Amino acid sequence: MSPVREGAVFESLRTQLREAATALADGPDALEGILLGIVDDVDRAVREPLEIFPVCHHSPASAIAMARRLREKRPKVVYLELCEDMAPLLTELRNCRLPVAVQAFASEVKGFPADWAPLSVVAPITEASAEYQAIAYALDTPGVELVLVDRSSDHVFQWQTGGTDLAESAGPEAPAETTAEASPADEEAALHGDAVGVEIGDLRPRFAELEEHLLRHGRVRHWSEWWHQYVELPLGDSDHDTYRQVMLLIGSLFRRLAPGDAERVRVDEDRERYMWTRMREHLAASGTDAGDCLYVCGAFHAASRVAEFGVDGAATFEIGPPSGSVWQHGLIPSSHTAIEAQFGLTAGSVSIAATQWAKNLKRTRVQPFRLDGQVGAKKPARAAKTVGAAQSAVPVAPGAGDDLSDKLSGFLRRAPVLDPLDEAELLGWSVEIVRAARRNGYLASTADAIAVFETSILLAGMRDRARPTPYDFQDAAITCIEKDSVPGRRDVRRIVEIMMGGDRIGQVGYDSLPPLARDVHDRLAPLNLKLEQRGVQRALLDMAAGPELGRCSDVLWMLRHLLPRGAARAIMGERRLGERPIQESWDLALGTHQRELIELGYEGVTIEQVLEQRLRRRAYDPQATTAGVLTAVEDATLYLRSRRLADELGTRALEVLATERSVDGAPEVLRRVRRLLAYYRTSEPVLPPWIESFVKTGYAHYCTLLPSAFGDEDATVRQVAAMLGFLFSMESLALSLGCDRTQLELAFAQSHPREPAKVALLWAAQVQLGQLSRAELRSRCDDLLGDPLVVPVYPRYLSGFLHALEPVPQLADFVVEAVSNAFGRLPDPVLLPWLPSLISTLRSDGSELAPLLIREAGRIFPGRLAALDAWVPPWLEHPDTGAAPRSSRTAGAAAGAGAALLTAYPATCDAVADLLGYEGTWETTASAGPSGAVLTRRHPETAEALEALLTGP
């Protein structure tokens, strides 16, 4: 570097700015500090022995300048502003189709609040970015070292204050390290999930008034358009010194005009201290000359004023140790839309930047760097190879061409160059947008193409530019084609974005996938599908013809449980306890949900391991409920077929049940326990010890809670009915395990509900216990209908009877009778408002009870409409026998018939006698039948049940 007196390079510019500050303000002190401070920042950065290369993320101008500078300087060390723990992954980029994102993921959080988990940091990389050029150069050039110097992923979260939300509020085009607030309709916008994004070169004014001023005077709508018009295009063809000084100027301007956000300034300055500390440590350890190095960072950080700035910095920043969190690293697919959504960029700006990158390459003939074997990269043309070879044949020695000169003065005084109108390009755009609009349902014609062409020129002229930009063309297309309606899924704005470059979606190659994802692909290979391909694919599994497909079915059911809805969707086939389908049909979209599949690989080596960990995590969560733990038990049995894990989780369910003091999950507990009992009884020789203990503990637990549940207003009728269902359906097993039925009788004696529905539920339970006869129950219902004060709330009693079908399904005929009487006797003002609640009750809470009720009603009511007029309800025809007797026999006749049956089947009589505790021998007399007839008189219901069992319907 040629010796130049310090401060002399930009002395002329300082003088001009001082005069401008004096002329624009009342005195030189008003603006002098800012304007001259900007020049000082630029001067300081360009004099640094370690060359600083300021960039803006996803900027084609920065990428072109980077590729050109790397071929000129040929640095031996490239320092890159990127999380230092992501370095081992960069070599895997050659196996991916860009854009992709480098991700750091931590599911085991230590040292951070538990509600932050899981922690995720991503850094998206596109081909039209300066950092990719630096990475490709360093990895494919022998003797060049790439060093990442930014804070680690762990420090990204360490530096967040306790009261700072990771997802900072972000308006349009929010700053870099933010989390997307809302997912756009397009699923590609969610490819990064809720990860915190790290990008190089956050160049946007943080001073709202400055941004508004620039947009208004630049006659543009948003910041991306301003940057494209006033920075991208002018710097696309500039030399290295001009590019570097202008970018430093912009970074310093935005930095000095930023609002006084102390927390954000602290994080920015700590990042700069961190990076300079790492670079000085590497220089000292390697002995590399600073002139042989290149420091690639955002222009905002290039204009730093911290004491640690430079290789001769005065202070040393102390870097704290990492937390105890376990970090996993990998690559996930990204897209233009995902980058725009996460970092708050204007929709379509990254696609337009990619198109501008291609134009710049063609115009400047700069040979870009690409990783050898890069998937999806186009091979450069032979002519371009020649240019690249010629450029690389004469490497410029370090420091050559680095004579400092003032490029800013000429750039700032130079009038903007108006690019001439490219009619062929604009005409092609106009024809293509009309063609695309027709495909999307618009009534566009050749006249619209002409209108778009002319309007684009008109809008560009109104905005002081001769050549319409893609943004001018987009406005013109919306005005001339969309008008006031959108006939299809896409509006014209989106159609233009697709036409300009489209939403390129990256893909992680098989070799760069984590072991779990590769294992999934290998195990699903018998399906003969391209699982890495985006979109939905149909898989047909015939396990009878191909037994190996059964293992594929197991994988798909686990993926359905672990991945988001839509990644693996079962069209035909169902997996239930004790059942295995022989045919299945699936819609698979594993390529679309590649990010989620990759993140599973951060949690384990196989999907079985991940599923087991998640089930354990769910079961041992402090907020776990009994129903949730039983669900985990069922999933472990259903998907993993692990008796060991099911027993462990079942024991955990027993512990959770003993500590619960509410009945909120009683319906789900009843449903799960019934299902598990049915499975174990059919598949195991004996019941597992945990489920026996669960039934025994649950019987005592719900007996204890029953009185308070009947009186608690917060406990719903459905929950109390589920408790009774557990007690009645598990009673025989619980009593055989040592429970005392006195507990249940005492619980009912202490239950005194006031709510009509719970009163009806209690009556039904008393019928089941034998404490209330059907005749008494019918009498009580008749009294309710006869009381005009109770008639308005009688439907609530009926709701209780409907829920009573859960614990006492034998009352189905009585419920039909009660509902029929209500429809016949209730006045319309009472009945009609109750009908919607009846329907909603049957739909939501009685989906399993409605078939029982409908079947019983079909048995009682006549099957033909003509017979309805002469039909007499059985409860009116035979009021003494209960509902729907099978013949005209009285109760005594039925008992006599039962005695005859017992005589014909003495073995059955002996069994019933042993069950009820009667001992004796058969005796036949002239006046009486067998002694078993005594049993039928004492227990007429048992006799009727035996009659129904032996004679059939």
| Residue 176: alpha-carbon gap to chain centroid | 22
Q: What is the pLDDT of residue 874?
A: 77
**Dihedral of the alpha carbons of 66, 72, 76, 77, in degrees to the nearest 10:** -20
The angle formed by the CA atoms of residues 262, 224 and 273, to the nearest 5 degrees, is: 35
Distance between CA atoms of residues 533 and 560, nearest Å: 18
The pair of three-digit structure tokens given for residue 521, joined into one six-digit string: 């692909």
Q: Give the residue among 641, 706, 731, 632 at the shortest CA–CA distance from 672.
A: 632
Distance between CA atoms of residues 854 and 708, nearest Å: 33
Q: What is the pLDDT of residue 14?
A: 58
**Dihedral of the alpha carbons of 435, 438, 444, 448, in degrees to the nearest 10:** -20
The secondary structure of 681-727 as a DSSP string is HHH-SS--HHHHHHHHHHHHHHHHHHHHHHH-SSS-HHHHHHHHHHH
Contact (CB, 8 A) for 61 and 299: no
Distance between CA atoms of residues 840 and 836, nearest Å: 6
Report how many helices (DSSP H) and strands (DSSP E) the chain contains, helices first. Answer: 41, 11
- Beta-carbon contacts of 234 under 8 Å, excluding residues fewer than 6 positions away, are 411, 416, 417
Distance between CA atoms of residues 66 and 907, nearest Å: 97
252 to 298, 450, 929: CA distances (angstroms): 11, 44, 111
Backbone angle region of 907, left / alpha / beta, with phi > 0 → left and psi within -120 to 50 → alpha? alpha
Q: What is the pLDDT of residue 169?
A: 31
The pair of three-digit structure tokens given for residue 97, joined into one six-digit string: 């189709």
Q: What is the pLDDT of residue 608?
A: 92
Q: In what order do the strands lie in the sheet with 100-108?
A: 196-197, 119-125, 100-108, 326-333
Residue 119 sits at φ, ψ, to 5 deg, of -90, 135
pTM: predicted TM-score of the whole model, two decimal places? 0.71
Contact (CB, 8 A) for 333 and 507: yes
Q: What is the pLDDT of residue 401?
A: 41
* Continuous segment of H or E residues that includes residue 540: strand 537-542
Q: In what order do the strands lie in the sheet with 77-83?
A: 51-55, 293-298, 77-83, 145-150
Distance between CA atoms of residues 627 and 662, nearest Å: 12
Count of beta carbons in the 10 Å neighbourhood of residue 549: 21
Q: Give the residue among 833, 845, 875, 870 at the shortest CA–CA distance from 857.
A: 875
Contact (CB, 8 A) for 612 and 655: no
Contact (CB, 8 A) for 504 and 260: no
Contact (CB, 8 A) for 79 and 293: yes
The angle formed by the CA atoms of residues 13, 18 and 19, to the nearest 5 degrees, is: 100
Distance between CA atoms of residues 481 and 589, nearest Å: 35
Strand partners, 150: 83
Mean pLDDT for each consecutive 10-residue tract of the chain (953 residues)? 48 58 50 68 85 87 90 92 89 88 85 82 87 91 91 85 39 33 48 63 59 72 76 80 85 74 79 89 90 89 84 79 85 84 77 82 86 70 41 42 60 62 84 89 88 90 81 88 78 82 79 90 91 89 86 92 90 86 90 89 89 92 91 92 91 91 88 91 90 92 91 88 91 89 89 90 90 88 85 85 87 86 81 77 66 79 77 69 40 52 74 71 52 63 70 55
Residue 125 sits at φ, ψ, to 5 deg, of -135, 125
Task: Give the helix, strand, coil percentages of the chain, each rounded to 5.
Answer: 55, 10, 35
Contact (CB, 8 A) for 64 and 299: no
182 to 178, 191, 195, 892: CA distances (angstroms): 12, 13, 13, 74
In angstroms, the first-to-last Cα distance of the chain is: 107
- Beta-carbon contacts of 636 under 8 Å, excluding residues fewer than 6 positions away, are 612, 615, 642, 645, 646, 649
Contact (CB, 8 A) for 442 and 483: no
Q: What is the pLDDT of residue 896?
A: 53
CA atoms within 13 A on the CB side of 214: 21
Rg of the chain, C-alpha, whole Å: 40
Q: What is the pLDDT of residue 416?
A: 59
Distance between CA atoms of residues 543 and 636, nearest Å: 22
How do strand 583-588 and strand 51-55 relate by DSSP bridges?
Answer: unpaired
Distance between CA atoms of residues 679 and 634, nearest Å: 10
**Dihedral of the alpha carbons of 644, 635, 109, 86, in degrees to the nearest 10:** 100
Distance between CA atoms of residues 865 and 872, nearest Å: 13
Q: Give the residue among 191, 194, 300, 294 at the shortest CA–CA distance from 247.
A: 300
Contact (CB, 8 A) for 792 and 755: no
**Residues, the chain:** 953
Residue 862 sits at φ, ψ, to 5 deg, of -65, 150
